[in-house]
Every structure is written in structure tokens, then in C-alpha cells.
Structure 1
Amino acid sequence: MKSKNKIKAINPKLWLYFCITFMFSLLSVIFFSAIVISILYFFGIFSNSNADRSFFLPLLLMVIISILLGLIVSIFIGKVFLKPLEELNKGLHEVAKGNFAIRVEEESSLKEVNDMLKNFNSMAEALSSIETLRTDFVANVSHEFKTPLAAIEGYATLLQSENLSKEKHDEYINKLINNTHKLSTLTGNILQLSKLENQNSSNLEKEKFNLSEQLRQAILSLESKWESKNINFDLNFGEIYYYGDSGLINHIWTNIISNAIKFSPENSTIVLEASENTKEIVVKIKDHGCGIAKENINKIFDKFYQVDTTHHSEGNGLGLALVWRIIKIINASIEVESELNCGSTFTIHLPK
């Protein structure tokens, strides 16, 4: 899609036009001086006397000095103003063609011009980062869609077999349902992320709600997952109310608790704690799962990042990316403590 915002290019021959205009002005001064001198001679004001010559020579010297000064000023202006503008113009043309790696030299002696060149480089750097993120995002989305689609195609083909037993038939149907659910979840997460990209703290739908009840409901919504692994929950909180966007905040609990269930071993316990003070509400979600290596903790909120590839088929790496975006929107904060083979603790601070 072509952008409607067009960059108005600076004429690369601007320096030539400026020099021509400046030289024309100098010639006008010389021509005017010549006319004045001619008039003075015509009326006999000038003669061949030494006194008259002493008046004429300074005037001629003034014209020569004006020409030299004009040339010096032209060179100075060309170097200070026009050369950086020409470089900036070339850079804008490259950006318009999609080359976000272009940079201009910040070599102007004027602060204002140098700031303009620096802002251009910052803009190009930001565009380059966005383009990289976009490319990676499209590649990851394509990969995440390809896996379940291939599985659906494969199981649908197997179901066409006439000699298929009822046991295999039911197994393939369940596989189809599971992969369809994965596609649905992936699509929903992508749409939610896209929606959140244009959302900020100024357009939240805030209301007072029972945060404790919301936590309990988030656990119940995942009952099939934790029941199949015989996981227990230890809830340590009283009745806590919070004023905020309950819909967005609910995404935080469901995604973090879902991850805790996914990485927890069978017959283990997940601990939920919540407390409040005059400034904030603090919620802790602790599991006893496989844990996260310290060097990977900063990556877990990246889109499509998978900590444990053995659980890849159970998620798409977008859940914690959603959590991170929501945390930023509601001006909250999140901390992660983890130790390999011991578990992880997610601590969320909700400002009042």
C-alpha cells in the first residue's frame, strides 16, 4: 500500500540557484556603482585631479572587496547550509525508496542544522527497527499458521480412508479439533495484539471490580488444563477491589496462569498471592515448573518467543507478549524471578 504522505524533495540544485542570485545581486551593485560614477563624471564632479582620484579609488576598492566578500559568503553558506540540505535530500529519496539503512553525516557547524541531520538519522533508525520487526513478525506468523494447517490437512486426508477404525477415526477428529483450536487462539492473539498497538492509557474502560473474584474466575476458566495434570492452587488473598480496565487485566491473569499450568509438573501446586497498600496492589503467581534460565528472562515477553521448545505445540509465544503490552498500557509493572528446575514467580504491581 502506498503512503499518502509524500516527502517534498529539496531541489538538489538549490545551491546553484542561490549562487546565481547572489552573484546577480553583486553585479547589480557594481552596475549601480558604475552608473553613479558615470553621472558624477558627466556633471564634472570628478576630474583628473588627485583629490578626485582619492575619492574614486576607495569607491572602486569597495566594489572589489564586495565581490570578494560575496564569494566568501557564498562558499560559507554553501558549506554550512546547502551541502547538508543536499545530503538530507538524498537521504529522503533513499528512505522513500525503502532504504532505511541510509544515514547522513552530522558535520554541520550550526546546531540547528546538525539537530535536523541527527533527527533524520534517528527517524531512519526507528524505521529500520520497525521494518525488521514487521518482517520477523510476518515470518513468525506464517510459520505458526503453517504448522497447524499442515496437521489439519494431514488428518483430514487420513479421515478419507475407508478402512479407518473407529478408534483412529475419533483420534484424528480430536487432532483436527485441537489444531483448529490452536489456529483460533493464534488468530485471536494476533488480533488482540493489533488492537492493543493503537491503545493507550487515555482510552481505557475503567470500572471498579472485584480483583479477587477475577483471579478465581481466571483459574476456573482453565479448569480442564489443570485438572488433567492434577494441579492444585493455593490462594492467599482476601477480597480486593480495583479500579481499572477489567477486560485487559483479565488477560494478564489468564495468560500467566495458563503458562504456569503448562510448565508445571503433574500433582504440583501453583500459588497465588495478592496484597494491597495505599499505592498499589501486588499479585504474585508462583509455579514449581521447569523454570527459566537467567539469560532468557528478558526474552520471554518477545513475540513468538518459546522458552521450552518441548512445549511448542501447546502455545504460540504470544501470551506473554500480550501481557507485556497490557502492563505498559495500564502503567503497571511486572517482575520475573526464576530458577531452572525450581519454578518461576511473576509479580505484578497494579498502581492505584
Structure 2
Amino acid sequence: MNARPTVKERRYSPWVFVWTFLILCVLAGGQALILAEYARIDKLPLPFILGMTGYWVIVAAVMSAVTYRQIRRRVKPMEEFAEASRQVAAGDFSVWLEPRHLEGSRQWDSIDQMYADFNTMVEELGSVEMLKDDFVSNVSHEIKTPLSIIQSYAALLERPDLSEEQRIEYAHTVVVASKRLSTLVSNVLRLSRMEAAGAHAQVDDYDLARQLADVVLGMGDLFDAKGIEFDVDIEDRVLVHADAGMMEIVWSNVLSNALKFTPSGGRVSLTQTSDERSATVTVDDTGCGMTASEAMHAFDKFYQGDTSHASEGNGLGLAMTKRAVELCGGDIAIASEPGRGTTVTVRVPVAR
């Protein structure tokens, strides 16, 4: 994160007051000379009155011009800021306020800093708005697909000439699509709760080794059914400080991805180690792998790099996994190479 530049606290230069004082002194001196001249002739004729009136008209005009110029210089930035704020409130996030001084210079003041902070805020709001639009678009698309399948096959089921075999096949397709839709809605709601402002994990000390063993036992048959060698190497006992419910989602999602992208005859290994600071879980597979670009976006919501498996998920699993790990105070990393497989590494803090 970049350090904030030094901001000049005093907005009004002392030279404004110095020059104002000097101008008034000069004007007062002019009045004194006029009075001295009339005092010399010992009378105050009409020209004196007219002269003094004209003099103070000039004084008022000069002071009004100086005051207007000074006030205008200080009000104009506020007017620009107000207009920019109105544009942002109307949904225009292309607004940009140009600071009047170079950042980091001695002239950089509070107005310049306000402009810079405003620009940063608008950029962030624009990014959030774009992400929101993308999220809504992606959710709509993901919901539309299973709904279309359900509607189409439900209409086919109404046909009286269907054989029992066809009816069972179509009903199974409807069930699969409805399960996919249910999973999508559940994941969207779960991810929304995780990303909500103020979201926090219910962290506590628990045995990670026992949790991993339970997950492995629950998924072992799936690996066997697909003909994938599943190697497991975990410690007998390791206490971590995390949310057990969230971390169970993490292991389930990571292993499900390994199962999905590893072909029959491949291998998946789960290794767990620990030190005095953290417990590390590594899931390594010999699946199709990802390119560097795909790996970089693997944790993005709705991202699906391998389109051949697009129908098997909704692109929310790893996004939810990353958020869960972060809420538990851990970190997650992914390394992959096309044709050689993927390695996912998760670290969570151990109990103190």
C-alpha cells in the first residue's frame, strides 16, 4: 500500500494577509495626503467631499475585487467537488478531479489530497459496480441454463406416448438440473454471507487431522468408483484455530475439484504437515491442469477455465474456498501446469 503524501495543513498563505495589509496601507496613505492638502488650505470645499467619496468608491472596488478573487480561488474547488459528486451519485464513475499540485511537493495541500482520495473512491466504486453487474449477469446465466433444461424435459414428460424408459431418463435429467440449480442458489447465498460487510468466522480450536480423516472417509468411495488412486498422509493429531464448518467446505471443494479434473487411472494425494505457526494441507492431482492465466483467475467468481467440465460446476467453489480460508486467518495458493496436474496448498493457524 502506497504511503500517503504529506499534506499542507494551512490552506491560506500568510502572503494573502501581508499583501492585503500593504494595499490598505497604500490606500490609507493616499487618504492622508488628500486630508493634508485640504488642511493646508484650511477649508473643506465641495471638491473635498467629492474627492473623498470617489476615493472610497475606488477603495471599495479594489477591496471587493481582491476579496472576490481570493474567495473564488477557494470556493471553486468545492464547486468542482460538488459537481463531480453529483455525477458519481448519478452513476457516472468516469469522473476524475485533477489535483492542482504535484503529489509529494511542498504545495500539495488538503484540497489536492481530497481530490486524490475522491479519485481513488470513484475508481473503487466503479470496480464494485462492474463486479456487481458481472455477478448478476453470471448468476442469471447460470440459473437460466438448468431452468431451461427443467422446462424442456418437464414438457416432454407431459407427452402420453413416452415409454417408461424415456420417462425415467427425462425425470432423471430434471432431477439433475434441479440439484444443480439448488446447489447454485445455496452457494450464492453462502458466498454472499461470507463476503458481507462484517462477516466473521466462528473460530475455535479443533483437531484438523480428525476432520481431514472424516472428509477422506466420506469421499474415498468416489475416488475408487472413478478408478483414481487416492493417497493420504496426515498427522495423528493437530489442533488448529479456525472455523471447523468453513474449513470442511474448503476440503470438500478442493477434493471435489481434484476428483472432477483427474481422469480414471490418475492419482490424487492429500498431505498434511504442521509447524509451530500453521498447519499446511496440500492436495496434488495428476489431472488436466491449468495454464498460468487460468490459474491466476481460478479464485474468481463464476470462472471456469476448462469448458469441457463447465456443466459439472458453477465456478463458485474456489471463490468460496478462498473466502473461507481468509476468514479463518489462513491463506491458499494454487500451482498448475497443463497436462501435469494441479497443486492446492492451504495454510491455517495452529492453536496457541
Q: TM-score, normalised by structure 1?
A: 0.79
Aligned to 2:158: 160
* Residue 179, structure 1, aligned to residue 173, structure 2: no
* Residue 96, structure 1, aligned to residue 89, structure 2: yes
**Change in CA separation of 1:66 and 1:167 when aligned onto 2, cut-off 3 Å:** same
Question: Residue 240 of structure 2 contacts residue 349 of structure 2 at CA under 8 Å; is this kept in 1?
Answer: no
Counterparts of 2:274 and 2:41 in 1: how far apart (Å)?
100
- Trace 1:234-313 onto structure 2 (pairs within 5 A): 234-238=231-235, 239-313=237-311
**What letter is aligned with 1:85?**
M
Question: What secondary structure does 2:227 align onto?
Answer: coil
- Trace 1:74-93 onto structure 2 (pairs within 5 A): 74-79=68-73, 81-93=74-86
Counterparts of 1:282 and 1:199 in 2: how far apart (Å)?
28
Aligned to 1:125: 123
Question: Residue 242 of structure 2 contacts residue 349 of structure 2 at CA under 8 Å; is this kept in 1?
Answer: no
Aligned to 2:39: 48
Q: 1:262 deviation in Å? A: 0.3
| Identical-pair percentage | 33
* Structure 2: stretches of 5+ with no match in the other structure: 1-23, 102-106
Aligned to 1:111: 109
Question: What secondary structure does 1:49 align onto?
Answer: helix
Question: What secondary structure does 1:193 align onto?
Answer: helix
Counterparts of 1:196 and 1:223 in 2: how far apart (Å)?
29
Counterparts of 2:197 and 2:96 in 1: how far apart (Å)?
32
Question: Residue 199 of structure 1 contacts residue 329 of structure 1 at CA under 8 Å; is this kept in 2?
Answer: no
Counterparts of 1:199 and 1:224 in 2: how far apart (Å)?
39
Q: 1:253 deviation in Å? A: 0.7
Aligned to 2:317: 319
Counterparts of 2:197 and 2:115 in 1: how far apart (Å)?
31
**What letter is aligned with 1:140?**
N
> Which residue, out of 200, 204, 207, partners 1:207?
204
Aligned to 1:72: 66
Question: What secondary structure does 1:305 align onto?
Answer: coil
Deviations 1:46-94 (A, max 9, x none): 95307999xx999x98996675355234313312x21111111111111
Question: Residue 335 of structure 1 contacts residue 348 of structure 1 at CA under 8 Å; is this kept in 2?
Answer: yes
Compare 338-347 and 204-213 and name the one that shifted more. Answer: 204-213
* Residue 136, structure 1, aligned to residue 155, structure 2: no
Deviations 1:139-172 (A, max 9, x none): 0000000111111111111212222222222211
Deviations 1:159-201 (A, max 9, x none): 1222222222221121111111101110111001110012657
Counterparts of 1:271 and 1:199 in 2: how far apart (Å)?
36
Aligned to 2:228: 231
Aligned to 1:350: 348
Counterparts of 1:199 and 1:112 in 2: how far apart (Å)?
30
Counterparts of 1:322 and 1:231 in 2: how far apart (Å)?
26
Q: 1:328 deviation in Å? A: 2.2
Q: TM-score, normalised by structure 2?
A: 0.79
Q: 1:269 deviation in Å? A: 2.0
> Which residue, out of 216, 221, 242, partners 1:219?
216
Aligned to 1:17: none
Question: What secondary structure does 1:161 align onto?
Answer: coil
Counterparts of 2:257 and 2:318 in 1: how far apart (Å)?
9
Counterparts of 2:165 and 2:227 in 1: how far apart (Å)?
26
Deviations 1:88-143 (A, max 9, x none): 11111111211122222222666101111112111111111111001100100000
* Structure 1: stretches of 5+ with no match in the other structure: 1-28
Counterparts of 1:224 and 1:139 in 2: how far apart (Å)?
37
Question: Residue 242 of structure 2 contacts residue 329 of structure 2 at CA under 8 Å; is this kept in 1?
Answer: no
